[in-house]
Structure 1
Amino acid sequence: MHALIPAAGRGTRLGECTETQPKGLVEVAGQPLLAHVFETAIDAGADELVVVIGYEGAQIVDHFGDAFAGVPITYVHQRERLGLGHAVLQAEPHIDGSFLLLNGDVFAGSVGPAVSAATKEGVDGVLAVEDVSTAEASTTGVLELDGDRVTGLVEKPDDPPSTLVTTGCYVLPADVFHACALVQPSAEGEYQLSEAVGLLVRAGYDIETVRLGERVNVNTPADVEQAARLVRE
């Protein structure tokens, strides 16, 4: 199984930590953030890593080389950072079949439950989700559900239909690449992955949800400390 890891962002909210290096190389408990992400993907069954790089991406290539823990790495350069859907589309030539997508700034203990759920008969894809406040839901991708089945997604809604949101971990069918190609840019000029997944849902694909354990979306120095605490525990 391929694991696609978008890691093109700079991480401006990390301040001095990313002035001269990419976000993925920020140290968390003694090793780069991306090393933790790679370990999580491999533990879930990934046998090839496809890493989307951008800001200071050469540093990531120099640090990790062509393999991590014996698992080969392919690098894809996202020349313009135009959203997660755009990042996914850049990797299409390097991925076969369904794949795990794990954002390069997400620290999670395990994503195995999402991968396992995707193996169930009739399931086309899986989103790892969590419950948040209504205020936070309005800043990210929000799900509409019928039981555990996703019936729709909306990005950064003014009036969220639920407080269940995506977490940066997905198991997606290869058809998501075609869906990403159909997505229109947002007002900010970004191509949203949530819109592409919404297209799959409307086309009849069965997209399920799972809830993961504790995780950290590493955006600030405080998040780095929280992720480090989880490592120590």
Structure 2
Amino acid sequence: MKAIIPVAGAGTKLRPHTYTQPKALIPLAGKTVLSIIIEQLKNAGINEFIFVVGYLGEKIQDYVKKEHPFLQSHFVHQNDRQGIGHALKLTRDLVKGDEIFVVLGDTITEYPIDEVLKSEYSMLGVKKVDDPRSFGVAEIDGDNIVRHVIEKPQIPKSNMALVGVYKIKESNLLFECLEANIMQGLKTHGEFSITDAIDCMIKKGAQFKAFKVESWFDCGKRETLLESNATLLKKFGGSIMSSQAYENTVIIQPVRIGKGCDIRNSIIGPNVTIGENTTIEASIIKNSIIGSFSNLFDIVLDYSIIGSDTGIRGETRTLNIGDNTDIDLG
């Protein structure tokens, strides 16, 4: 089995951070979104990965080679972003008819992965949502057999949203459906969708079962990214990658602080992730993500994301600032 992780999206909902950093590499609870996905699949026994990269793809490639040097990894470039279906179609020559496990690169889920991998069926991850109109939706019978899937329906007949995790046994049929949809120009909301291809497979006789995920962390928007950071900090627990105490500083767990940080006269936490080699002085920070190599002085932050290599002086409440920024709010 081969894992496919599409990470070619521009991450427009997380700008300005994604101008300089792929959203899959945004720090989250002391890790990155991509590292959490890779570790979950590696622990389940999947060793061959195909990454579909595009925007800032060289950063994804460098990260994977540095952090996972023994991973059997391939990189496919999607220069023209036309949706997840188009991204998957580019991997056909590498898949070679094998079973595939597709995980979207901005979503973290918790589920019984071993059971999913052992199932004799192709499998789709789902979770009940209040408003399914913003998601792919699965219509499921009493035996969890998926009868129909549709992308972002205006009048949903089900509230079971597709979470972005797919085990597909009949990969050749998937690629046939993808190629047929692309040749016909069959787009949904302006993109070639994996949902449309799966519905094509179902109509051609492929049988999918749904499995419910226990937790679903959406990391594609600022608000949900911060919520996911807080939840995962509580799950993984806080950690401080330094043996030295921070001068006149109160740490309110859960907090993850990278190595090489210098923090003085501050209150940090709860629910804060701080990257490596960051300096913080005379500040109060809670419910936030701070990048590496940043310098913060005399600042109050709540529900904020601060990019790497950023300097801030002054006082504020909520910020969303990208990398390589210097701001004086005094």
Counterpart of 1:88 in 2: which secondary structure?
helix
Determine helix, strand or coil for the equivalent of 1:138: helix
Closer, same or farther in 2 for the Cα pair 1:25/1:5, shift >3 Å?
Answer: same
Percent identity of paired positions between Structure 1 and Structure 2: 26
Kindly state the Cα deviation for residue 217 of structure 1 after the two structures are TM-superposed.
1.5
Q: Following TM superposition, by how much is the alpha carbon of 1:228 offset from its aligned partner in structure 2, in angstroms?
A: 2.2
Q: Relative to 1, partners in 2 of residues 1:51 and 1:29: Cα closer, same or farther, differing over 3 Å?
A: same
Deviation at 1:197, TM superposition (A): 0.4
- The gaps in structure 2 that reach 5 residues or longer are 236-330
Residue type of the alignment partner of 1:15 = R
Q: Partner of 1:221 in structure 2?
A: 222
Q: Shift in Å at residue 181 of structure 1?
A: 0.9
Q: Which position in structure 1 is the counterpart of 2:262?
A: none
AA in 2 matched with 1:72: Q
Point out the structure with the larger helix share. 1
CA distance in 2, matches of 1:34, 1:120: 25
Aligned partner of residue 14 in structure 2, secondary structure: helix
Q: Is residue 179 of structure 1 aligned with residue 177 of structure 2?
A: yes
Structural mapping, 1:102-141, within 5 Å? 102-110=103-111, 112=113, 116-121=115-120, 123=121, 125-133=122-130, 136-141=131-136
Cα offset, 1:138, TM superposition: 1.2
Question: Is contact 2:140-2:210 (8 Å) kept?
Answer: no
**Letter aligned with residue 28 of structure 1:** L
Looking at structure 2, the residues matched to 25 and 223 of structure 1 have their Cα atoms a distance apart, in angstroms, of 16
In 2, Cα distance between equivalents of 1:3 and 1:109: 17
Contact 2:107-2:220 within 8 A present in 1 as well: no
Q: TM-score, normalised by structure 2?
A: 0.65
Q: Conserved in 2, the CA contact under 8 Å of 1:40 and 1:110?
A: no
Does the aligned pair in 1 maintain the 2:14–2:221 contact within 8 Å? Answer: yes
**Aligned partner of residue 231 in structure 2, secondary structure:** helix
2: CA distance, partners of 1:171 / 1:3: 9
Note if contact 1:54-1:79 (Cα within 8 Å) is conserved in structure 2: yes
Distance 1:206 1:110 in 2: 20
Instruction: Tell me if structure 1 keeps the 8 A contact 2:111–2:212.
Output: no
Shift in Å at residue 42 of structure 1? 1.4
Q: Letter of the aligned partner of 1:197 in structure 2?
A: I
| Counterpart pick for 2:154 among 158, 182, 196 | 158
Give how far 1:66 is off.
Answer: 7.6
Q: 2:139 aligns with which of 126, 135, 144?
A: 144
Q: Is residue 138–residue 159 contact of structure 1 (8 Å, CA) maintained in 2?
A: yes
Residue 13 of structure 2 is matched in structure 1 by 13
TM-score (norm 1): 0.90
Report the Cα distance in structure 1 between the residues aligned to 2:161 and 2:123, rounded to whole angstroms.
13
Q: How large is the RMSD of aligned CA atoms in angstroms?
A: 1.8
Rg comparison, structure with higher value: 2
> Measured at CA, do residues 21 and 120 of structure 1 come closer, stay the same or move farther in structure 2, by a change above 3 Å?
closer
Tell me which of the two structures has the higher relative contact order, counting C-alpha pairs closer than 8 angstroms and 6 or more residues apart.
1
Paired residues of 1:67 and 1:73 also in contact (CA < 8 A): no
The answer to whether the Cα contact below 8 Å between 2:127 and 2:212 also exists between their aligned partners in 1 is yes
What displacement does 1:3 show?
A: 0.6
Measured against aligned partners, the alpha-carbon deviations of 1:195-223 in whole angstroms (never above 9, x if no partner) come to: 11001111111100000111212112222
For residues 67-124 of structure 1, give each alpha carbon's deviation from its aligned partner in whole angstroms, at most 9, with x where no partner exists.
72622111110111111111111111111411110000011234505xx235334x2x
- Provide the C-alpha distance between the structure 2 equivalents of 1:32 and 1:187, rounded to a whole number of angstroms: 30
Letter in 1 for 2:135: T
Structure 1 stretches of 5 or more lacking a match?
none
Aligned residue type for 1:151:
R
Encode CA deviations 1:9-61: one digit per residue, 9 max, x unaligned: 12111122212121111111222221111112212321111101011111111
Aligned equivalents of 1:65, 1:85: Cα separation in 2:
26
**Preserved CA contact (<8 Å) 1:155 1:195:** yes
SS in 2 for 1:201: helix
CA deviation after TM superposition for structure 1 residue 177, in Å? 1.2
CA distance in 1, matches of 2:188, 2:160: 24
